[in-house]
Amino acid sequence: MPHRFAICLGFASSYERYMSNNSKISDTEYQFGNNHAIVPTFQLASYIREMGYPATAHHHGRSSVNPIPLAISAGLGELGRHGMLIHEKYGSRLHLTVVTCDIPLSVDQPVDIGVEEFCKYCKKCARTCPSHSIPFGDKTVVNGVEKYAINVESCYKYKLAGRGEWTNCVVCVSSCCYNKADTWYHDLAMWSVKTTPAKLRVLVVKPLLWIDDLIWGKRPWKRMKWLGYDNAPKTMSCNIPGCNAKHTNLQDKRLHATKTVQGDAV
Ligand code: SF4
Ligand code: SF4
């Protein structure tokens, strides 16, 4: 890290618009979120420099630090099964930026909001991931850190399935049980997980998972229209050479996990 301290910032995207996954609407929300985070991060770094201390802004366009472990150390949230930070209120839809600096600061501590136990039993992101990149199994040691090992390659390759309709997959973010609209009953659910002793959390998590599937669906998605654009699924012919599949909805299908039924690929 270039400086002694790191100030971690999180900028929340709209839960509603992410529910249009995967679409031009969720794409726009994702990119606006990334861009919206840049200016305040620069401003904070400039402000600290004006006070006479070295400071550098790190954001999605240019960064020499990994914001996720820093945000976890700073107590912004915990690491989820899908490899992203989970914030108690905003779930995993925070765009993270960092200002590293040498101004003397008091340091925050990591938090326990129940993500460890929740992810152990939930696995909803693993079930909904179209490219099967999120593991169902236990944590393993990756680069010296114990965590759920995401298949980054298959995740990024899944972008090919967008075919110009979308570029960023946010299915796991939208599915995450921590990532919900800002309502009192969501706050209550997350509070109940957090305040239950770790060994007993499974008793709270299981009924909450059942309620989550019931209210938001096993695969959260919402039809949305915006400026004449409609995210309703379209029947598309696969344009990868050699594939004759007639995918009814490329977004929900594992890329090229086709099978033949009565001579037709589905
Ligand atoms: S971004 Fe999409 S493809 Fe990648 S892990 Fe999440 S759900 Fe899977
Ligand atoms: S969907 Fe469930 S398992 Fe996945 S990160 Fe969110 S809480 Fe954890």
> Does 219 contact ligand 2 (Cβ within 6 A)?
no
Residues 85 and 198 in one domain: yes
Closest CA to 80 of 40, 120, 43, 44: 120
Digit-coded pLDDT (tens) for 74-117: 999 999 999 999 999 999 999 999 999 999 999 999 999 999 99
Structure tokens at 180: 């919900």
Residues 221 and 253 in one domain: no
Residues 162 and 185 in one domain: yes
Number of domains in the chain: 2
Digit-coded pLDDT (tens) for 45-76: 999 999 999 999 999 989 999 999 999 999 99
Residues 248 and 167 in one domain: no
Q: Give residue for tokens 């899908």.
A: 82
Measure the CA dihedral 149/153/154/160, to 10°: 150
DSSP notation for 145-209: EEE----HHHHHHGGGGGTTS-S---HHHHH-TT---S-HHHHHHHHHHHHS-GGGHHHHHHHHH
Which range of residues forms the domain containing residue 2?
1-232
Digit-coded pLDDT (tens) for 6-27: 999 999 999 999 999 999 999 9
Digit-coded pLDDT (tens) for 162-184: 878 899 999 999 999 999 988 99
Pocket (CB within 6 angstroms of ligand 1): 82, 129-131, 133-134, 155, 158, 169, 171-172
> Does 123 contact ligand 2 (Cβ within 6 A)?
yes
> Does 6 contact ligand 2 (Cβ within 6 A)?
no
CA distances from 69 to 89, 94, 105, 244 (A): 19, 14, 18, 43
- pTM, two decimals, is 0.87
